[in-house]
Structure 1
Amino acid sequence: MLRGFYTATTGMMAQQRKQEVLSNNMTNALTPGYKQDQTALRAFPELLIQRMENQNFPVSNQSKVRTMTEIGAINTGVYVQETIPDFAQGTLQETEMTTDFALVQGETPDENGSIFFTVQNGDGEVRYTRNGNFTVDGEGNLTTNQGYYVLDAAGNTINTDGLEFELTPEGMLQLDGAQIPLGIAYSNDANQLIKNGNDLLELAEGADPLVDARATAGLQFNVQQGYLENSNVDTSQTMTAMMEAYRAFEANQKVVQAYDRSLDKAVNEIARLG
Protein backbone atom coordinates (compact mmCIF):
# COMPACT_ATOMS: atom_id res chain seq x y z
CA MET A 1 0.00 0.00 0.00
CA LEU A 2 2.77 2.41 0.92
CA ARG A 3 4.48 1.76 -2.40
CA GLY A 4 1.37 2.90 -4.27
CA PHE A 5 1.14 5.94 -2.00
CA TYR A 6 4.67 7.04 -2.91
CA THR A 7 4.16 6.26 -6.61
CA ALA A 8 1.12 8.54 -6.80
CA THR A 9 3.01 11.22 -4.88
CA THR A 10 5.85 11.21 -7.42
CA GLY A 11 3.21 11.70 -10.13
CA MET A 12 1.92 14.79 -8.31
CA MET A 13 5.43 16.22 -7.93
CA ALA A 14 6.26 15.61 -11.61
CA GLN A 15 3.07 17.31 -12.80
CA GLN A 16 3.68 20.24 -10.45
CA ARG A 17 7.16 20.71 -11.91
CA LYS A 18 5.74 20.47 -15.43
CA GLN A 19 3.12 23.07 -14.55
CA GLU A 20 5.85 25.45 -13.34
CA VAL A 21 7.71 25.12 -16.65
CA LEU A 22 4.54 25.72 -18.67
CA SER A 23 3.65 28.74 -16.52
CA ASN A 24 7.09 30.22 -17.16
CA ASN A 25 6.59 29.70 -20.90
CA MET A 26 3.25 31.50 -20.73
CA THR A 27 4.77 34.36 -18.72
CA ASN A 28 7.44 34.87 -21.41
CA ALA A 29 5.10 34.50 -24.39
CA LEU A 30 5.65 38.17 -25.27
CA THR A 31 9.41 38.23 -24.57
CA PRO A 32 11.32 38.74 -27.85
CA GLY A 33 13.47 35.76 -28.82
CA TYR A 34 12.31 33.63 -25.88
CA LYS A 35 12.57 29.87 -26.47
CA GLN A 36 10.02 27.74 -24.70
CA ASP A 37 11.07 24.91 -22.40
CA GLN A 38 9.82 21.36 -22.72
CA THR A 39 9.83 18.81 -19.90
CA ALA A 40 11.01 15.24 -20.26
CA LEU A 41 9.32 12.82 -17.84
CA ARG A 42 11.01 9.54 -17.00
CA ALA A 43 9.90 6.55 -14.96
CA PHE A 44 11.92 5.29 -12.03
CA PRO A 45 13.41 1.78 -12.56
CA GLU A 46 10.75 -0.93 -12.44
CA LEU A 47 10.82 -3.64 -9.79
CA LEU A 48 10.47 -7.26 -10.84
CA ILE A 49 8.03 -9.24 -8.69
CA GLN A 50 8.52 -12.99 -8.21
CA ARG A 51 6.53 -15.49 -6.19
CA MET A 52 8.54 -17.81 -3.95
CA GLU A 53 6.94 -21.13 -2.96
CA ASN A 54 7.74 -24.71 -2.06
CA GLN A 55 6.78 -27.46 -4.45
CA ASN A 56 6.10 -30.95 -3.03
CA PHE A 57 7.17 -34.03 -4.96
CA PRO A 58 5.25 -37.31 -4.53
CA VAL A 59 8.19 -39.35 -3.22
CA SER A 60 8.67 -41.34 -0.07
CA ASN A 61 10.74 -38.72 1.78
CA GLN A 62 8.27 -35.89 0.91
CA SER A 63 11.02 -33.66 -0.46
CA LYS A 64 10.28 -30.01 -1.13
CA VAL A 65 11.90 -27.79 -3.74
CA ARG A 66 11.76 -24.01 -3.50
CA THR A 67 10.69 -22.43 -6.79
CA MET A 68 10.37 -18.84 -8.02
CA THR A 69 7.67 -17.82 -10.48
CA GLU A 70 7.90 -14.48 -12.26
CA ILE A 71 4.74 -12.41 -11.80
CA GLY A 72 5.68 -9.19 -13.55
CA ALA A 73 7.09 -5.71 -13.04
CA ILE A 74 5.76 -2.88 -10.93
CA ASN A 75 6.36 0.81 -11.63
CA THR A 76 7.73 2.99 -8.84
CA GLY A 77 6.76 6.43 -10.13
CA VAL A 78 7.94 9.20 -12.46
CA TYR A 79 10.06 12.33 -12.26
CA VAL A 80 11.04 15.28 -14.45
CA GLN A 81 14.40 14.23 -15.83
CA GLU A 82 15.24 17.55 -17.51
CA THR A 83 13.85 20.65 -19.18
CA ILE A 84 14.90 21.15 -22.79
CA PRO A 85 14.65 24.50 -24.61
CA ASP A 86 12.98 24.44 -28.03
CA PHE A 87 15.12 26.56 -30.37
CA ALA A 88 12.63 26.67 -33.24
CA GLN A 89 12.49 29.98 -35.12
CA GLY A 90 9.88 32.46 -33.91
CA THR A 91 7.83 34.74 -36.13
CA LEU A 92 9.06 38.26 -36.93
CA GLN A 93 7.43 41.48 -35.77
CA GLU A 94 8.21 44.81 -37.42
CA THR A 95 9.04 47.59 -34.96
CA GLU A 96 10.78 50.16 -37.22
CA MET A 97 13.31 50.72 -34.41
CA THR A 98 16.88 50.90 -35.76
CA THR A 99 18.24 49.18 -32.64
CA ASP A 100 15.93 46.15 -32.98
CA PHE A 101 17.56 43.17 -34.73
CA ALA A 102 16.09 39.80 -35.61
CA LEU A 103 18.04 36.68 -36.54
CA VAL A 104 16.46 34.70 -39.37
CA GLN A 105 17.88 31.22 -39.54
CA GLY A 106 17.84 29.19 -42.74
CA GLU A 107 19.46 25.83 -43.40
CA THR A 108 22.10 24.61 -40.96
CA PRO A 109 24.81 21.98 -41.40
CA ASP A 110 23.68 20.28 -38.17
CA GLU A 111 20.23 19.06 -37.19
CA ASN A 112 20.22 20.88 -33.84
CA GLY A 113 22.36 23.83 -34.96
CA SER A 114 21.31 27.39 -34.13
CA ILE A 115 22.68 30.96 -34.24
CA PHE A 116 22.81 33.60 -31.50
CA PHE A 117 23.87 37.16 -30.78
CA THR A 118 26.96 37.36 -28.58
CA VAL A 119 26.80 39.65 -25.56
CA GLN A 120 28.80 40.32 -22.40
CA ASN A 121 27.12 39.87 -19.02
CA GLY A 122 27.75 41.96 -15.92
CA ASP A 123 30.77 39.81 -14.95
CA GLY A 124 32.45 40.34 -18.32
CA GLU A 125 31.68 36.79 -19.52
CA VAL A 126 30.47 35.98 -23.04
CA ARG A 127 26.86 34.89 -23.22
CA TYR A 128 24.39 34.28 -26.04
CA THR A 129 20.85 35.44 -26.77
CA ARG A 130 18.15 35.49 -29.43
CA ASN A 131 16.55 38.62 -27.99
CA GLY A 132 17.56 41.42 -30.38
CA ASN A 133 15.68 44.15 -28.47
CA PHE A 134 18.82 46.31 -28.20
CA THR A 135 19.35 49.94 -27.25
CA VAL A 136 22.15 52.51 -27.00
CA ASP A 137 23.30 53.55 -23.52
CA GLY A 138 24.45 57.00 -22.37
CA GLU A 139 28.01 56.32 -23.53
CA GLY A 140 26.90 55.29 -27.02
CA ASN A 141 27.44 51.56 -26.52
CA LEU A 142 25.05 49.08 -28.09
CA THR A 143 23.50 47.08 -25.25
CA THR A 144 20.67 44.66 -24.51
CA ASN A 145 17.57 45.96 -22.74
CA GLN A 146 19.14 44.69 -19.49
CA GLY A 147 22.25 46.80 -20.09
CA TYR A 148 24.63 44.04 -21.24
CA TYR A 149 27.11 44.98 -23.97
CA VAL A 150 26.47 43.63 -27.46
CA LEU A 151 29.74 42.32 -28.97
CA ASP A 152 31.18 42.38 -32.45
CA ALA A 153 32.73 39.39 -34.22
CA ALA A 154 36.07 40.03 -32.49
CA GLY A 155 34.48 40.04 -29.02
CA ASN A 156 34.69 43.80 -28.54
CA THR A 157 31.92 46.15 -27.44
CA ILE A 158 30.24 48.27 -30.13
CA ASN A 159 30.28 52.03 -29.64
CA THR A 160 28.02 54.02 -31.95
CA ASP A 161 28.98 57.49 -30.65
CA GLY A 162 25.29 58.18 -30.68
CA LEU A 163 25.27 58.21 -34.49
CA GLU A 164 22.66 56.68 -36.76
CA PHE A 165 23.63 53.33 -38.25
CA GLU A 166 22.32 50.70 -40.62
CA LEU A 167 22.59 46.93 -40.47
CA THR A 168 23.02 44.83 -43.60
CA PRO A 169 21.34 41.41 -43.95
CA GLU A 170 24.82 39.90 -43.49
CA GLY A 171 25.02 41.46 -40.02
CA MET A 172 27.44 44.26 -40.90
CA LEU A 173 26.89 47.43 -38.86
CA GLN A 174 27.48 50.45 -41.16
CA LEU A 175 28.57 53.32 -38.97
CA ASP A 176 30.16 56.58 -40.16
CA GLY A 177 31.68 54.90 -43.23
CA ALA A 178 32.99 51.90 -41.26
CA GLN A 179 31.61 48.38 -41.24
CA ILE A 180 31.50 46.49 -37.95
CA PRO A 181 30.59 42.77 -38.11
CA LEU A 182 27.97 42.02 -35.47
CA GLY A 183 28.94 39.09 -33.24
CA ILE A 184 26.82 36.15 -34.42
CA ALA A 185 27.79 32.75 -33.02
CA TYR A 186 26.79 29.29 -34.22
CA SER A 187 26.27 26.21 -32.06
CA ASN A 188 26.27 22.80 -33.75
CA ASP A 189 24.02 21.55 -30.92
CA ALA A 190 21.92 24.25 -29.27
CA ASN A 191 20.78 21.72 -26.63
CA GLN A 192 24.23 22.11 -25.07
CA LEU A 193 23.30 25.65 -24.05
CA ILE A 194 21.59 26.30 -20.74
CA LYS A 195 19.49 29.30 -19.71
CA ASN A 196 21.29 31.77 -17.46
CA GLY A 197 18.51 34.28 -16.76
CA ASN A 198 17.74 37.66 -18.35
CA ASP A 199 17.28 36.03 -21.79
CA LEU A 200 20.91 34.84 -21.75
CA LEU A 201 22.32 31.42 -22.55
CA GLU A 202 25.63 29.93 -21.51
CA LEU A 203 27.61 26.93 -22.65
CA ALA A 204 27.21 23.79 -20.56
CA GLU A 205 30.33 22.29 -19.03
CA GLY A 206 32.20 20.13 -21.54
CA ALA A 207 30.09 21.33 -24.50
CA ASP A 208 31.51 22.24 -27.90
CA PRO A 209 32.39 25.96 -28.10
CA LEU A 210 30.40 28.20 -30.42
CA VAL A 211 32.02 29.43 -33.63
CA ASP A 212 31.64 32.45 -35.91
CA ALA A 213 28.45 31.94 -37.92
CA ARG A 214 29.94 33.62 -40.99
CA ALA A 215 32.78 31.08 -41.11
CA THR A 216 30.47 28.05 -40.93
CA ALA A 217 30.00 26.23 -44.23
CA GLY A 218 26.44 25.29 -45.15
CA LEU A 219 24.87 27.80 -42.77
CA GLN A 220 22.28 30.22 -44.11
CA PHE A 221 21.05 33.21 -42.12
CA ASN A 222 20.34 36.91 -42.29
CA VAL A 223 19.71 39.74 -39.85
CA GLN A 224 16.69 42.04 -40.15
CA GLN A 225 16.96 45.58 -38.76
CA GLY A 226 13.76 47.11 -37.42
CA TYR A 227 12.33 43.68 -36.57
CA LEU A 228 12.15 41.50 -33.48
CA GLU A 229 11.85 37.74 -33.29
CA ASN A 230 8.79 36.80 -31.25
CA SER A 231 8.90 33.98 -28.73
CA ASN A 232 8.08 30.54 -30.09
CA VAL A 233 5.49 29.90 -27.38
CA ASP A 234 2.14 28.72 -28.74
CA THR A 235 -0.21 30.13 -26.10
CA SER A 236 -3.22 27.98 -27.00
CA GLN A 237 -1.13 24.81 -27.02
CA THR A 238 0.52 25.80 -23.74
CA MET A 239 -2.87 26.44 -22.09
CA THR A 240 -4.04 22.99 -23.20
CA ALA A 241 -0.89 21.39 -21.80
CA MET A 242 -1.39 23.26 -18.50
CA MET A 243 -4.93 21.90 -18.21
CA GLU A 244 -3.70 18.38 -18.95
CA ALA A 245 -0.99 18.68 -16.30
CA TYR A 246 -3.56 19.95 -13.79
CA ARG A 247 -5.92 17.03 -14.52
CA ALA A 248 -3.07 14.54 -14.16
CA PHE A 249 -2.08 16.17 -10.85
CA GLU A 250 -5.70 15.97 -9.70
CA ALA A 251 -5.94 12.27 -10.61
CA ASN A 252 -2.79 11.44 -8.65
CA GLN A 253 -4.08 13.51 -5.75
CA LYS A 254 -7.27 11.43 -5.61
CA VAL A 255 -5.20 8.24 -5.55
CA VAL A 256 -3.17 9.62 -2.63
CA GLN A 257 -6.41 10.52 -0.81
CA ALA A 258 -7.77 7.00 -1.40
CA TYR A 259 -4.59 5.47 0.05
CA ASP A 260 -4.84 7.86 3.00
CA ARG A 261 -8.40 6.70 3.75
CA SER A 262 -7.29 3.05 3.51
CA LEU A 263 -4.43 3.64 5.93
CA ASP A 264 -6.80 5.44 8.29
CA LYS A 265 -9.11 2.42 8.31
CA ALA A 266 -6.23 0.02 8.85
CA VAL A 267 -4.94 1.98 11.84
CA ASN A 268 -8.13 3.14 13.50
CA GLU A 269 -10.68 0.40 12.72
CA ILE A 270 -8.97 -2.88 11.88
CA ALA A 271 -6.35 -2.45 14.58
CA ARG A 272 -9.10 -1.75 17.15
CA LEU A 273 -10.78 -5.07 16.36
CA GLY A 274 -7.55 -6.89 17.18
Structure 2
Amino acid sequence: MLRGFYTVASGMLSQQRKTEMLSNNLSNANTPGYKADQSSMKAFPEMLLSLQGQKLDVPTKNGLKIPMSQQVGALNTGVYMQETIPAFLQGDLQETERLTDVALVDGTIPVDPETGLRGGVFFTLQGGDGTPRYTRNGNFNVDGQGFLTSASGLYVLDQNGQRIQMPSDEFKITEEGRVLVNEIESARLGIGFALNPNRLTKEGDGLFRTEDNQPLPDAYGSEAAFGMQQGFIERSNVDTAKTMTDMMTSYRSFEANQKVLQAYDRSLEKAVNEIGRVNG
Protein backbone atom coordinates (compact mmCIF):
# COMPACT_ATOMS: atom_id res chain seq x y z
CA MET A 1 0.00 0.00 0.00
CA LEU A 2 2.81 2.42 0.89
CA ARG A 3 4.34 1.78 -2.53
CA GLY A 4 1.04 2.90 -4.03
CA PHE A 5 1.41 6.29 -2.33
CA TYR A 6 4.70 6.88 -4.15
CA THR A 7 3.26 5.73 -7.48
CA VAL A 8 0.25 8.05 -7.22
CA ALA A 9 2.42 10.94 -6.01
CA SER A 10 4.72 10.60 -9.04
CA GLY A 11 1.69 10.80 -11.33
CA MET A 12 0.44 13.94 -9.59
CA LEU A 13 3.85 15.61 -9.76
CA SER A 14 4.29 14.85 -13.46
CA GLN A 15 0.84 16.26 -14.28
CA GLN A 16 1.51 19.34 -12.17
CA ARG A 17 4.74 20.01 -14.09
CA LYS A 18 2.98 19.47 -17.40
CA THR A 19 0.28 21.95 -16.38
CA GLU A 20 2.96 24.52 -15.46
CA MET A 21 4.59 24.02 -18.88
CA LEU A 22 1.25 24.47 -20.68
CA SER A 23 0.47 27.57 -18.60
CA ASN A 24 3.81 29.05 -19.66
CA ASN A 25 2.95 28.33 -23.30
CA LEU A 26 -0.38 30.13 -22.92
CA SER A 27 1.24 33.13 -21.26
CA ASN A 28 3.57 33.45 -24.28
CA ALA A 29 0.87 33.00 -26.91
CA ASN A 30 1.42 36.62 -28.03
CA THR A 31 5.22 36.68 -27.65
CA PRO A 32 6.87 37.12 -31.09
CA GLY A 33 8.98 34.14 -32.15
CA TYR A 34 8.10 32.05 -29.09
CA LYS A 35 8.35 28.28 -29.60
CA ALA A 36 5.89 26.22 -27.59
CA ASP A 37 7.31 23.55 -25.28
CA GLN A 38 6.29 19.92 -25.60
CA SER A 39 6.68 17.34 -22.84
CA SER A 40 7.45 13.64 -22.89
CA MET A 41 6.42 11.32 -20.06
CA LYS A 42 8.35 8.21 -19.16
CA ALA A 43 7.59 5.41 -16.70
CA PHE A 44 10.07 4.29 -14.10
CA PRO A 45 11.61 0.86 -14.82
CA GLU A 46 9.25 -2.01 -14.08
CA MET A 47 10.00 -4.51 -11.34
CA LEU A 48 9.22 -8.22 -11.48
CA LEU A 49 7.59 -9.43 -8.26
CA SER A 50 8.07 -12.98 -7.02
CA LEU A 51 6.55 -14.81 -4.05
CA GLN A 52 9.28 -16.35 -1.93
CA GLY A 53 9.05 -18.91 0.87
CA GLN A 54 7.21 -21.84 -0.70
CA LYS A 55 9.08 -25.13 -0.37
CA LEU A 56 8.89 -28.26 -2.45
CA ASP A 57 8.98 -31.52 -0.46
CA VAL A 58 11.31 -34.08 -1.99
CA PRO A 59 10.68 -37.67 -0.80
CA THR A 60 14.13 -38.66 0.38
CA LYS A 61 15.33 -40.75 3.31
CA ASN A 62 16.13 -37.73 5.51
CA GLY A 63 13.55 -35.44 3.91
CA LEU A 64 14.43 -32.47 1.74
CA LYS A 65 12.64 -29.20 1.13
CA ILE A 66 13.71 -26.99 -1.76
CA PRO A 67 12.83 -23.26 -1.56
CA MET A 68 10.63 -22.21 -4.46
CA SER A 69 9.52 -18.87 -5.85
CA GLN A 70 6.42 -18.03 -7.83
CA GLN A 71 6.22 -15.07 -10.17
CA VAL A 72 3.48 -12.60 -9.24
CA GLY A 73 3.89 -10.20 -12.16
CA ALA A 74 5.33 -6.85 -13.18
CA LEU A 75 4.97 -3.72 -11.06
CA ASN A 76 5.26 -0.19 -12.43
CA THR A 77 6.46 2.28 -9.81
CA GLY A 78 5.34 5.54 -11.37
CA VAL A 79 5.91 8.11 -14.11
CA TYR A 80 7.90 11.32 -14.51
CA MET A 81 8.31 14.14 -17.04
CA GLN A 82 11.46 13.17 -18.88
CA GLU A 83 12.09 16.43 -20.75
CA THR A 84 10.55 19.45 -22.44
CA ILE A 85 11.42 20.18 -26.07
CA PRO A 86 10.43 23.31 -28.04
CA ALA A 87 8.45 22.80 -31.24
CA PHE A 88 10.45 24.61 -33.93
CA LEU A 89 7.54 25.17 -36.30
CA GLN A 90 7.16 28.37 -38.30
CA GLY A 91 4.70 30.77 -36.68
CA ASP A 92 2.31 32.98 -38.61
CA LEU A 93 3.59 36.33 -39.86
CA GLN A 94 2.05 39.55 -38.57
CA GLU A 95 2.53 42.87 -40.34
CA THR A 96 3.68 45.74 -38.12
CA GLU A 97 5.04 48.24 -40.71
CA ARG A 98 7.95 48.98 -38.34
CA LEU A 99 11.30 49.24 -40.12
CA THR A 100 13.11 47.48 -37.28
CA ASP A 101 10.81 44.43 -37.32
CA VAL A 102 12.12 41.49 -39.34
CA ALA A 103 10.62 38.02 -39.73
CA LEU A 104 12.49 34.90 -40.79
CA VAL A 105 10.61 32.91 -43.42
CA ASP A 106 11.56 29.25 -43.69
CA GLY A 107 11.98 27.71 -47.08
CA THR A 108 13.51 24.31 -47.77
CA ILE A 109 15.39 23.42 -44.59
CA PRO A 110 17.61 20.30 -44.52
CA VAL A 111 16.54 17.36 -42.37
CA ASP A 112 18.82 15.82 -39.76
CA PRO A 113 19.45 12.22 -40.95
CA GLU A 114 19.87 11.02 -37.34
CA THR A 115 16.57 12.33 -35.97
CA GLY A 116 14.52 12.81 -39.13
CA LEU A 117 13.61 16.30 -37.91
CA ARG A 118 14.00 19.52 -39.86
CA GLY A 119 16.70 21.99 -38.91
CA GLY A 120 16.20 25.65 -38.08
CA VAL A 121 17.58 29.14 -38.78
CA PHE A 122 17.92 31.87 -36.15
CA PHE A 123 18.92 35.51 -35.74
CA THR A 124 22.31 35.87 -34.04
CA LEU A 125 22.63 38.06 -30.94
CA GLN A 126 25.44 38.92 -28.55
CA GLY A 127 24.72 37.59 -25.07
CA GLY A 128 25.55 39.46 -21.90
CA ASP A 129 28.58 37.20 -21.38
CA GLY A 130 29.83 37.83 -24.91
CA THR A 131 28.83 34.42 -26.26
CA PRO A 132 26.25 34.17 -29.05
CA ARG A 133 22.54 33.76 -28.46
CA TYR A 134 19.90 32.83 -31.01
CA THR A 135 16.28 33.79 -31.42
CA ARG A 136 13.35 33.79 -33.83
CA ASN A 137 12.03 37.04 -32.37
CA GLY A 138 12.76 39.76 -34.92
CA ASN A 139 11.10 42.53 -32.90
CA PHE A 140 14.22 44.72 -33.01
CA ASN A 141 14.90 48.30 -31.93
CA VAL A 142 17.59 50.94 -32.46
CA ASP A 143 19.20 52.18 -29.23
CA GLY A 144 20.47 55.67 -28.47
CA GLN A 145 23.84 54.96 -30.13
CA GLY A 146 22.25 53.64 -33.29
CA PHE A 147 22.91 49.95 -32.65
CA LEU A 148 20.30 47.38 -33.65
CA THR A 149 19.13 45.53 -30.51
CA SER A 150 16.69 42.76 -29.70
CA ALA A 151 13.55 43.11 -27.57
CA SER A 152 15.60 41.88 -24.58
CA GLY A 153 18.28 44.54 -25.14
CA LEU A 154 20.97 42.32 -26.70
CA TYR A 155 22.98 43.50 -29.70
CA VAL A 156 22.05 42.04 -33.08
CA LEU A 157 25.13 40.72 -34.87
CA ASP A 158 25.96 40.74 -38.55
CA GLN A 159 27.32 37.90 -40.68
CA ASN A 160 30.83 38.59 -39.37
CA GLY A 161 29.80 38.55 -35.70
CA GLN A 162 29.95 42.35 -35.34
CA ARG A 163 27.34 44.70 -33.92
CA ILE A 164 25.13 46.43 -36.46
CA GLN A 165 25.07 50.22 -36.20
CA MET A 166 22.57 52.19 -38.26
CA PRO A 167 23.98 55.48 -39.59
CA SER A 168 20.44 56.63 -40.37
CA ASP A 169 16.87 55.99 -39.29
CA GLU A 170 15.96 55.30 -42.91
CA PHE A 171 17.16 51.86 -43.91
CA LYS A 172 15.93 48.82 -45.76
CA ILE A 173 16.41 45.12 -45.07
CA THR A 174 16.17 42.90 -48.13
CA GLU A 175 14.93 39.32 -48.35
CA GLU A 176 18.58 38.21 -48.30
CA GLY A 177 19.16 40.00 -44.97
CA ARG A 178 21.19 42.87 -46.40
CA VAL A 179 20.88 46.19 -44.55
CA LEU A 180 20.75 49.03 -47.08
CA VAL A 181 21.19 52.70 -46.14
CA ASN A 182 20.62 55.04 -49.09
CA GLU A 183 20.70 51.90 -51.27
CA ILE A 184 24.23 51.11 -50.04
CA GLU A 185 24.82 47.89 -48.14
CA SER A 186 26.15 48.58 -44.64
CA ALA A 187 25.74 45.10 -43.06
CA ARG A 188 24.07 41.75 -43.40
CA LEU A 189 22.06 40.19 -40.60
CA GLY A 190 23.81 37.22 -39.00
CA ILE A 191 21.77 34.04 -39.33
CA GLY A 192 22.80 30.77 -37.67
CA PHE A 193 21.78 27.32 -38.86
CA ALA A 194 21.15 24.40 -36.50
CA LEU A 195 20.77 21.00 -38.15
CA ASN A 196 19.29 19.68 -34.90
CA PRO A 197 17.64 22.58 -33.01
CA ASN A 198 16.74 20.24 -30.13
CA ARG A 199 20.39 20.35 -29.07
CA LEU A 200 20.07 24.06 -28.33
CA THR A 201 19.56 25.08 -24.71
CA LYS A 202 16.48 27.20 -24.17
CA GLU A 203 16.78 30.34 -22.05
CA GLY A 204 14.32 33.07 -21.13
CA ASP A 205 13.08 35.83 -23.47
CA GLY A 206 12.92 33.44 -26.43
CA LEU A 207 16.70 32.95 -26.49
CA PHE A 208 18.69 29.82 -27.28
CA ARG A 209 22.36 28.95 -26.98
CA THR A 210 24.55 26.06 -28.02
CA GLU A 211 25.69 23.49 -25.47
CA ASP A 212 29.34 24.58 -25.70
CA ASN A 213 28.56 28.29 -26.32
CA GLN A 214 30.20 28.04 -29.74
CA PRO A 215 28.56 29.87 -32.68
CA LEU A 216 26.28 28.02 -35.05
CA PRO A 217 27.34 27.60 -38.69
CA ASP A 218 26.56 30.48 -41.02
CA ALA A 219 23.14 29.80 -42.56
CA TYR A 220 24.05 31.68 -45.74
CA GLY A 221 26.69 29.06 -46.54
CA SER A 222 24.43 26.10 -45.78
CA GLU A 223 21.84 24.28 -47.84
CA ALA A 224 19.02 25.95 -45.90
CA ALA A 225 16.69 28.09 -48.00
CA PHE A 226 15.12 31.01 -46.15
CA GLY A 227 14.20 34.65 -46.53
CA MET A 228 13.37 37.74 -44.49
CA GLN A 229 10.50 40.21 -44.51
CA GLN A 230 10.91 43.70 -43.13
CA GLY A 231 7.92 45.19 -41.35
CA PHE A 232 6.72 41.77 -40.15
CA ILE A 233 7.25 39.65 -37.04
CA GLU A 234 6.84 35.92 -36.58
CA ARG A 235 4.08 35.20 -34.11
CA SER A 236 4.19 32.52 -31.43
CA ASN A 237 3.43 29.00 -32.68
CA VAL A 238 1.33 28.20 -29.59
CA ASP A 239 -1.99 26.58 -30.52
CA THR A 240 -4.20 28.06 -27.80
CA ALA A 241 -7.17 25.75 -28.42
CA LYS A 242 -5.03 22.61 -28.26
CA THR A 243 -3.13 23.91 -25.24
CA MET A 244 -6.36 24.54 -23.34
CA THR A 245 -7.55 21.02 -24.18
CA ASP A 246 -4.25 19.54 -23.01
CA MET A 247 -4.49 21.52 -19.77
CA MET A 248 -7.96 20.14 -19.07
CA THR A 249 -6.74 16.60 -19.76
CA SER A 250 -3.76 17.10 -17.46
CA TYR A 251 -6.01 18.51 -14.74
CA ARG A 252 -8.37 15.53 -14.99
CA SER A 253 -5.42 13.14 -14.72
CA PHE A 254 -4.19 14.99 -11.64
CA GLU A 255 -7.68 14.83 -10.15
CA ALA A 256 -7.95 11.08 -10.81
CA ASN A 257 -4.61 10.45 -9.10
CA GLN A 258 -5.76 12.59 -6.20
CA LYS A 259 -8.85 10.42 -5.70
CA VAL A 260 -6.70 7.27 -5.73
CA LEU A 261 -4.46 8.87 -3.12
CA GLN A 262 -7.48 9.60 -0.93
CA ALA A 263 -8.62 5.99 -1.28
CA TYR A 264 -5.19 4.74 -0.20
CA ASP A 265 -5.31 7.11 2.76
CA ARG A 266 -8.71 5.83 3.89
CA SER A 267 -7.57 2.21 3.53
CA LEU A 268 -4.45 2.87 5.60
CA GLU A 269 -6.49 4.66 8.25
CA LYS A 270 -8.86 1.71 8.48
CA ALA A 271 -5.97 -0.75 8.73
CA VAL A 272 -4.41 1.20 11.58
CA ASN A 273 -7.56 1.97 13.55
CA GLU A 274 -9.60 -1.19 13.04
CA ILE A 275 -7.62 -4.17 11.78
CA GLY A 276 -4.69 -3.46 14.05
CA ARG A 277 -6.84 -2.97 17.14
CA VAL A 278 -6.25 -5.45 19.96
CA ASN A 279 -9.33 -6.25 22.03
CA GLY A 280 -8.72 -6.28 25.77
Counterpart of 2:277 in 1: which secondary structure?
helix
Secondary structure of the residue that 2:23 maps to in structure 1? Answer: helix
The amino acid of 1:171's aligned partner reads G
Question: Whole-Å Cα distance in 1 between the matches of residues 88 and 151 of structure 2?
Answer: 21
CA–CA distance in 2 between the matches of 1:209 and 1:88? Answer: 22
RMSD: 1.5
Q: Which one is further off, 62-71 or 135-144?
A: 62-71
1:147 CA displacement: 1.4
| Shift, 1:56, TM fit | 2.0
Sequence identity, in percent?
Answer: 54
Aligned ranges 1:103-252 → 2 under 5 Å:
103-110=104-111, 111-176=117-182, 177-205=184-212, 210-216=216-222, 218-252=223-257
Question: Corresponding residue for 1:5?
Answer: 5
What amino acid sits opposite 2:4 in the alignment? G
Q: TM-score, normalised by structure 2?
A: 0.93
SS in 2 for 1:272: coil
2:211 alignment partner AA: A
Q: Please give the alpha-carbon distance, in whole angstroms, between the structure 1 residues aligned to 2:193 and 2:140.
A: 20
Within 2, Cα distance between the matches of 1:73 and 1:159?
Answer: 65
- 2:22 paired residue number: 22
Q: Deviations over 1:43-76 (max 9, x none)?
A: 1111111122212234554422222222211000
- Partner Cα distance (1:209, 1:41) in 2: 32
Aligned partners of 1:46 and 1:75 also within 8 Å: yes
Corresponding pairs, count? 272
Describe the SS at the equivalent of 1:39: strand
Task: Indicate the residue corresponding to 1:64 in structure 2.
Answer: 65
* Unaligned stretches of 5+ residues in structure 1: none
Judge conservation of contact 1:105–1:221 (CA < 8 Å) in 2. Answer: yes
Using the size of structure 1 for normalisation, the TM-score is: 0.95
Measure the CA separation in 2 of the matches of 1:208 and 1:220.
23
Aligned partners of 1:136 and 1:162 also within 8 Å: no
1:197 match: secondary structure: coil
C-alpha displacement of 1:16 = 0.3
Counterpart-to-counterpart distance in 1, 2:36 and 2:133: 18
